[in-house]
A and B are shown apart, each in its own frame.
Chain A
Amino acid sequence: MSNPYAKLPGWVEYGLVPLVNLAVAFLVAGLVVLLVGENPFEAAYHLINGAFGRGEYIGFTLYYATTFIFTGLAVAVAFHAGLFNIGGEGQAYVGGIGVALACLWLDQTMPWFVVFPLAIIGSAAFGAVWAFLPGWLQAKRGSHIVITTIMFNFIASSLMVYLLTKVLKPLGSMAPQTRTFAEGGQLPKLDWLLAIFGLDIGTAPFNISFLLALVAAFGVWLLIWRTKLGYEMRTMGHSPSAARYAGMSESRITVITMMISGALAGMMALNPIMGEQGRMQLDFVQGAGFVGIAVALMGRSHPAGIIPAAVLFGVLYQGGAEISFEMPSISRDMIVIIQGLVILFAGALENMFRPAITRLFSISSRRAAVVAQTKGA
């Protein structure tokens, strides 16, 4: 499809346009706050204070951000190949099995740095397997990836309820969760990282999987922009027919992309399971897979955009908790609204303000050209 919009300077394309969209999303969210009868500025104050006010708060913000970096990268990788992986939620949930198995197996005998790599492999493998089937079905049988991944989210949810209530639950326990892991199944906190900035981490579960998330982000950048596979993925994303003409195997790219995407989503499970709770619980993903969609859209599918977008959602999650504490009529569901608005304005309506911005820039650049001409003469 042709692009009906003129090319804009990079900083406008990747900076101003997303910022305008984001600002509109927050403006509408502010209206909702008004509708509830509260002061949006007060809410904004509690949001910022709740997310950055103390070392502990920052720890929580970055803990949530870690989760969203993984799920955001997962969605972004698929986006590059023109695939919409809406199943990050299910892949992360199933990825939890890999983490739990590694921990249940070795946590009492091995230190964390032995268990952690195995858990990474486990989570990535389980997540990849859960994404493999939709990918394969799309590639070989032509079933629409969006629909299959939605279905797989529900299947994953049923599967996990079954596993946690019947299989992984310790004998005699009522709660649908695994046993609490011993020391080997718990990740060390990044208290030293915050201490460099003179901050005290307190009880925040900010842990080493944050570093893994940064490595993953770098890895995704390498993959997409510096490898042959990444080139093929982008080609297919821009024009499937061009990819076919160039002799690239569509089905191979589809399956591999989905597996990478699923693996990234699956690795998200490390953060809550090994980093916070020290066990696998029902519904530990808590919608993070869907937040990934918002994060990827806002970050324009680039790791350098995804990390700040993930931090922004970390701010919303942590600061949102503070708002609901200070202003009881604004519960944490406010975050869900903002998330939806961000998806709407940064995703579906991303081009709404583009004509206006383009006009603005074409006028100013023409004026600059005129000024340059008169100066030259």
Chain B
Amino acid sequence: MDFFHVIVVLLESTIRVSVPLIFAALAGLFTERAGIFDIGLEGKMLGAAFAAGAVAAITQSVWLGLLAAILISIALSLVHGYASITQRGNQIVSGVAINFIVAGSTVILGEAWFRQGGRTPALAEGARFQTINFPFADAIREVPLIGPIYADLLSGHFILTYVAFAMVPLSWWILYRTRFGLRLRAVGENPGAVDTAGISVIWMRYRAVICCGILCGFAGAYLSLAMTAGFVKGMTAGKGYIALAALIFAKWRPFNIMLACLLFGFLDAFAIRLQGNPLPLIGQVPVQLMQALPYILTVILLAGFIGKAIPPKAGGVPYVKER
């Protein structure tokens, strides 16, 4: 196998594993920019993946599955919103709680409804996303250099993959070029000023939380309807936390988020690819080190050794209108 081919395969799997990270990290971007910490990304993604798998299995419709994923994820986001906006509870505590409730209930309900050890039934072709092949992909494949890039890297992904990458500029546009985005960011930096301007801080933050729910819904649906054919218990396996790490690593900026997710996805794909084979120059690298690298990098970044990550100023602080 030649070197170029290996790179293409590696990049292709990088894209595949980065998609849920991009969705989830963008989801976190919306809430955190509005001043609400969200460590419940993992739980929302898992709940969405379960809803998608269960509904798609029952209705045999991939779109209903996606819809269910988004609805469940929004519902969970609203719980988080209610706790942290209306009740002014501790946002981190609320996020932790959601992660646990979802982790437990997806298993319990899955087992009660489908009796397959916490899985949902394997989805038939019509009930899951199919890869999309661009025109002439097979014809061009043989062309050196451009062929594999077009046929394997650009073509042949799920529709959600393209949606994910389209979400990056879209999120940027929403956050930086619309009135809604300006207000959303303002609510995360200085809610008092937004309130003075006569805009409801509470309602702004709720809308941010709903945006987060929609994006987490996509992330979960991608896991159970595209990446695999059905829900498997605990299938997010820490991806929500990696997305959180990517969000911070990207310093809360949309395009950086895409790059951070691709980097973390690449590390993941690379570790799988390597499987204990020695690296040139460096020698044997333990798989565990590769797996821990996203977290280690994030810690180093947070420590201010690679630039400085400055979170939104009002993050984690519930807004109390002056009495």
Q: Which A residues fall within an 8 A CB radius of B?
A: 1-2, 4, 32, 35-37, 84, 86, 133, 137, 141-144, 146-148, 150-152, 154-155, 158-159, 161-162, 166, 290, 293, 297, 329-331, 333-341, 343-344, 347-352
Contacts and interface: CB of A to CB of B under 8 A. Distances in A.
Interface stretch (B59-67, B99-107, B199-207, B253-261): B99-107
A375 B10 CA distance: 86
- For the residues of A in contact with B, the DSSP-based class is helix
A351 B103 contact: no
Interface in B252-305: 286, 288-289, 291-292, 295-296, 298-299, 302-304
Interface string B72-103: 00000001001110011111111011111111
24 contacts: A32-B109, A36-B112, A84-B92, A137-B302, A144-B311, A146-B39, A147-B245, A151-B296, A151-B298, A154-B238, A155-B296, A158-B288, A161-B288, A290-B100, A331-B108, A334-B104, A337-B104, A340-B103, A340-B104, A343-B93, A343-B96, A344-B94, A348-B89, A351-B88
A336 B104 contact: yes
Interface in B87-138: 87-94, 96-105, 107-109, 111-112, 118
B55 interface: no
Contacts of B289: 158, 162
B248 A293 contact: no
A241 to B, nearest CB: 14
B320 A2 contact: yes
B100 A337 contact: yes
Contacts of A158: 288-289, 291-292
Nearest to A334: B108
Contacts of B112: 35-37, 329
B247 to A, nearest CB: 10
Contacts of A155: 292, 295-296, 299
Nearest to A84: B92
Contacts of A338: 104
- For the residues of B in contact with A, the DSSP-based class is helix
Interface residues of B, number: 51
B241 A150 contact: yes
Given A2-B320, A150-B39, A333-B103, A344 B302 contact: no
**Residue with the greatest number of chain A CB neighbours at <10 A, chosen from B104, B238, B288:** B104
Contact of A143 (B92, B291, B302, B323): B302
Contacts of A151: 245, 295-296, 298-299, 302
Contact of B97 (A37, A150, A159, A343): A343
Given A290-B96, A343-B93, A335 B298 contact: no
A84 B90 CA distance: 10
Contacts of B303: 137, 141, 143
Q: Which 3 A-B pairs have the closest CB atoms?
A: A340-B100, A336-B104, A337-B104
Contacts of B103: 333, 336, 340
B83 A336 contact: no
B164 interface: no
Contacts of B109: 32, 35-36
B175 interface: no
B282 to A, nearest CB: 16
A221 to B, nearest CB: 23
Given A4-B320, A36-B112, A350 B89 contact: yes
Interface in B166-183: none
A86 B302 contact: no
A348 B97 contact: yes
Nearest to B99: A340
